[in-house]
Chain A
Amino acid sequence: MIKEKEHNSSKAHFWKSVLIIAGVFSFALCILIIGNYFQINKADPVNTKVINTLVDRLNQNPGDQALINEIREFDLLARKAYFTNQWQIRFGGYLLLFGVIVMLISVLMMDSTKKKVQAITFVKDDKLPTTQRNSRKWITIGGIALAVITLIFAFLSHNELGNKFSQKESSESKLNKNDSLMVDSNNIQNSDTLKINSDSSNLDTVITVGLIEFPTAAMMSNFPSFRGPGGNGIAYQKNIPTSWDGASGKNIKWKTAIPLPGYNSPVVWGDKVFLTGANGTKQEVYCFSKSSGKILWTADVSGIQGSPSTAPKVTDDTGYSAPTVTTDGEKVYAVFATGDIIALDMTGNKVWARNIGIPVNHYGHSSSLLLYENKLIVQYDQNNGAKVMALSTQSGKTIWSTLRKVKISWASPVIVNTGSRVEILLIAEPYVASYDPATGKELWKIDCTSGEVGPSVAYANGIVFALNEYAKLAAIQIGDQPKILWENNDYLSDVPSPVATDKYLFVVTSYGEVACYNPKTGDKYWNHDFGTGTYSSPMLVGEKIYLMDKKGTMHIFKADKTFSSVGDPKLGENTVSTPAFADGKIFVRAGNNLYCIGK
């Protein structure tokens, strides 16, 4: 027992000594680090008196090489001293940490030599009911105090922030709109003088707002945007070929390699075909000759203010240039996954460019652009602040911007003429909505979809058809009080969009099955499995549907009550883009090439 006592005593003595040594060591380090701290705080390595004097002398005698070398040496010394001090402080910190750890261990070891474990000297608690009563009392007091303080703060700082932001946003939009109208009125004045020179079509478009002409004749004679004029899946073209063969070259007019990758589709105006490509470091717009396939010009889209220095992350199956360009025959407009948007004239010169904010989109932005009169319509359904915008085609300024309470969407806008007005139709979880292209005002909306929406809507005869994979297919009777006419979930799609006529609705699934419905009742006329998946959207051309599958086979069938195949010509290259149709030709982006198919 005595031996054990002695042992414990010597052990305690030892750890006490260790504690004192570690304590003194740590204390000394504290002093040193404090000293170093003040030293480093005082020193400014880029603004020393000596160097400043030498720099002044150098300014008087700029060619003095010896002086330059001397400045460099002093500068190096000052920086060295600074970084040495930094290192000393950090190393001192580690040593101090070590010292404190030793101190802690010493205390613990000293405690362990004590025979009895130390109890916590608690004051004997009140009896249970008293404790509970006290607890209830103080919780009530605490709760009331918290509520009162919160209310006082809420009252004092109540600012109607949400309303203020909304009002400010609309006033900013109005300002921009006025700017834009000023631009347009300038344009009208300029056009007045040009009118003498005959071409006043653009002027007419500006001043005849209200006379519904959509799509315009010029749009219908070309192929100005993704899924044709208005993006509704209809090409107003004739004499489109129904047979070709990529392997033998039959009816392949030309094939041109596209420099950069992209999942966007070609658009055609006059003798030009447009595409874009991007790879995360470069963004380009290409103009091809419709007749020869030669690249007429390439526009590099860079140096735009606000463009991110590093491209946002996108998935491989979306890429950096999924949105298709649009054109009005005067300018071509393109948008990329970086939020960069550009307007180029028909010779490839930049008219305006801006960044509309980096889209917060985990796959990458893919919604294509559309035009209505002098407005470029952008569906920007991103994670924070989904919206639809109209930018001035002249200046790029925002004419209107309407907030949308929807999730991210990859669908593209569709603009249709309902007979009484023109409407922009958008789809994203949870609803399909219509907007006035002149003001951006929401005309109607109806909840009918969910999930990550990829397919755009189709429209015919006053009915909008909306669908998405794992959701449903809904036929919506449009109007200020829209209603769902019928629903079905047998055939759905996550990428290809449907297409509709007055008599038929065609739905294409991503795995390659096509179903034809009665658009008014939802009765299915037929379904046919092509066996190969498709991401390309079907196009109605005359009385036929053209549907390109992923392996490059075009399935052509009649838009009829029964399935009737016209042909399945093969191109021989994989594709996910939707073809363009113009002037008796088909333009297909497949692999890394742009093909022209024609007789």
Chain B
Amino acid sequence: MCKIKNILLFFFFVIISLQVFDLSAKNRFPKPEFESGHVQPETITPAPRAMILEYIDVFVLIVALSLISWLILKKRSRKGVFWMSVFTILYFGFYKQGCVCAVGSVQNVTLALFNESYNIPITALLFFVIPLLYTLFFGRTFCAGVCPLGAIQDIFAFRPMPIKAWLEKVLGIIPFIYLGLAILYAATGTDFIICRYDPFIGFYRLDATFMMFMLGAIFLLIGVFIARPYCRFLCPYGALLNIVSRFSFKHMTITPANCINCKLCESSCPFGAINMPAPVKEKEKTEVIVKRYVLLSVIVPVLIFAGGFIASNFHENLAMVNHKVKLATEVMNNTNFGLKDKEAIEITAFKSSGQTIEQLYSEAAVIIDEFYIGSWILGCFIGLVFGLTLVSLTVFKYHSDYSPNKATCHSCARCMDYCPVLPEKK
């Protein structure tokens, strides 16, 4: 049965990819020629979405977050979380077409901080702040079933398989690197890479490039066996929530009362986000730990500096994503974007813009300078992430019972279904 389903899913992704890829390529054939008298209608720019609808979206977000937090913390209902995910896919996914979403709003906030001419829409700001606030209070309930990217993956997680804890830790660093890159590119006004490479937006809009459809399909297919791969190993907003959730006041618990160590929930979490009981005897010798701490206290600043140094040397490569730097490079090297038969459309557009070549060079030089500074900061940040992760792996945390890992737990409530403990009667 599972095989049939997977084969059919594969067909679905391939076909969706094919049709969209083809349409985008074919839509550009010339307009019919009319001899005279016919006036081509003017292109009409659609009016922006009404402000009231934007506020309704914020209202829906707050209601959804409140409801799912209640379902998880009070009702302890996995079924409730599932239906919230369905609602999210329908409303924030297909109806809202995945925009504005909290994940991408990181870039809006960054751009607003670094570019005074950009006025951040209030809804983008609220979509950034509200899930963070809820996470601070209730843990990652946003990830559980209000994020359209997480919800679609959660529904596809049919046969989750375990992955090694060390691999989870290593891959868990990637979202922080991605977050750093997204901030760098947003701050320099280069691109919103989180949105551009959002693998699921194509499904919600039924419109994306062939490659993006394939990427989305790959993520969903992987997600059948490795639950929520994007959330765990890429999502930059998840990296922020990971930090905030550690300080959450009232995070969900696996047991409604005292844990009886029955081990039934041990294998229930598809994200490996359950802290197993750790007996004190497992603890390493204190002197070994102290030695390692001393070593790490030296290594962390070195890692920060080394990260900054390495990334700053890489700044030109990072800057090549910027279209102006790319254009200036192509013009300077006279490479015409690799085209031989005709002039590249970017070159033609530049020529008709009226901008002079020295202006282009001067702007590109400014951008390169910005990337140099930004790369230093990015590298230092990545070095810090590596350093702090190593430090956290030195700390021995004593657990007497099964509890969710506040940082990585997506509050999906699966583990609750396995717990035989009944709530204490008041």
Contact = CB atoms under 8 A, between A and B. Distances in A.
B287 interface: no
Interface stretch (A90-98, A197-205, A480-488): A90-98
A125 interface: yes
B170 A138 contact: yes
A447 B9 CA distance: 62
Contacts of A417: none
Contacts of A362: 116-117, 119
Given A26-B8, A158-B313, A362-B117, A139 B358 contact: no
Interface in A369-424: 383-385, 387, 398, 401, 403, 405, 407-408
Contacts of A354: 354
A119 B418 contact: yes
A90 B19 contact: yes
A162 B372 contact: yes
Given A97-B206, A162-B368, A385-B359, A89 B390 contact: no
A522 B316 CA distance: 48
Interface stretch (A145-153, A326-334, A541-549): A145-153
B354 A355 contact: yes
B22 A162 contact: no
A151 B15 contact: no
Contact of A34 (B18, B23, B389): B18
A305 interface: yes
A120 B162 contact: yes
B11 A172 contact: no
Contacts of A384: 189, 324, 363, 366-367
A82 B28 CA distance: 12
Interface stretch (A128-136, A184-192, A462-470, A508-516): A128-136
Interface string A154-174: 110111011011101110110
A40 interface: yes
A536 B164 CA distance: 71
B147 to A, nearest CB: 19
Interface stretch (A99-107, A224-232, A241-249): A99-107
Contacts of A135: 165-166, 169-170, 393
Contacts of A79: 32
Given A176-B358, A383-B117, A120 B267 contact: yes
Given A26-B11, A132-B393, A306 B355 contact: yes
Contacts of B306: 147
Nearest to B329: A161
B359 A401 contact: yes
B343 interface: no
B195 interface: no
Main secondary structure of the interface of A (DSSP, over half): helix
A281 interface: no
A131 B359 contact: no
Contacts of B369: 162
A26 B9 CA distance: 9
B354 A305 contact: yes
A279 to B, nearest CB: 19
B12 A107 contact: no
Contacts of B169: 135, 138-139
A104 B151 CA distance: 14
A46 B33 CA distance: 11
A41 interface: yes
A122 B386 contact: no
Contacts of B165: 125-126, 131, 134-135
Contacts of A139: 169-170, 173, 386, 389-390, 393
A86 B359 CA distance: 43
Given A122-B162, A360-B117, A93 B15 contact: yes
A169 B317 contact: no
Contacts of A403: 362, 365-366
A161 B158 contact: no
B282 interface: yes
A120 B270 CA distance: 7
A259 interface: no
A341 B26 CA distance: 39
B332 interface: yes
A27 interface: yes
B316 A161 contact: yes
A103 B2 CA distance: 11
B30 interface: yes
Q: How large is the interface on A (under 10, 10 to 19, 20 to 34, 35 or more residues)?
A: 35 or more
A138 B15 contact: no
The main secondary structure of chain B at its interface with chain A is helix
A211 B253 CA distance: 85
A134 B166 contact: yes
A348 interface: no
A128 B361 contact: no
A213 B241 CA distance: 66
B63 interface: no
A27 B359 contact: no
A566 B42 CA distance: 58
Interface string A295-335: 00000000011110000000000000000000000000000
Contacts of A34: 15, 18
Nearest to A26: B8
Nearest to B13: A100
Interface string B189-228: 1000000000000000010000000000000000000000
Interface in B94-139: 115-117, 119
B356 interface: yes
Contacts of A126: 165
Nearest to B316: A161
Nearest to B12: A100
Contacts of A143: 303, 386
B394 A132 contact: yes
B160 A120 contact: yes
Interface in B366-382: 366-369, 372
Nearest to A36: B19
A159 B162 CA distance: 44
Contacts of A572: none
Contact of B310 (A45, A151, A357, A360): A151
A306 B356 CA distance: 10
A155 B158 CA distance: 45
A125 B282 CA distance: 14
A560 interface: no
A40 B24 CA distance: 12
B88 to A, nearest CB: 15
A407 B117 CA distance: 10
Contacts of B56: none
Contacts of A93: 15-16, 19, 206
Contacts of B30: 46
B335 to A, nearest CB: 13
B422 interface: no
B50 interface: no
B354 A153 contact: no
A137 interface: yes
Contacts of A172: 356-358, 361
Contacts of A50: none
A339 interface: yes
Nearest to B395: A132
B40 interface: no
B11 A27 contact: yes
Contact of B352 (A94, A122, A162, A306): A306
A129 B18 contact: no
21 contacts: A27-B11, A30-B8, A30-B15, A37-B15, A92-B19, A93-B16, A100-B9, A128-B276, A128-B282, A135-B166, A147-B306, A150-B314, A161-B325, A162-B368, A165-B362, A166-B362, A170-B358, A306-B353, A354-B354, A357-B356, A401-B356
Given A100-B12, A154-B313, A169-B365, 16 more contacts: A30-B15, A46-B29, A89-B19, A117-B418, A121-B161, A134-B166, A139-B393, A154-B314, A161-B364, A168-B361, A304-B354, A305-B354, A355-B353, A357-B355, A362-B116, A403-B365
Minimum-distance CB pairs A-B, first 7:
A306-B354, A355-B354, A385-B363, A169-B361, A362-B117, A172-B358, A162-B368
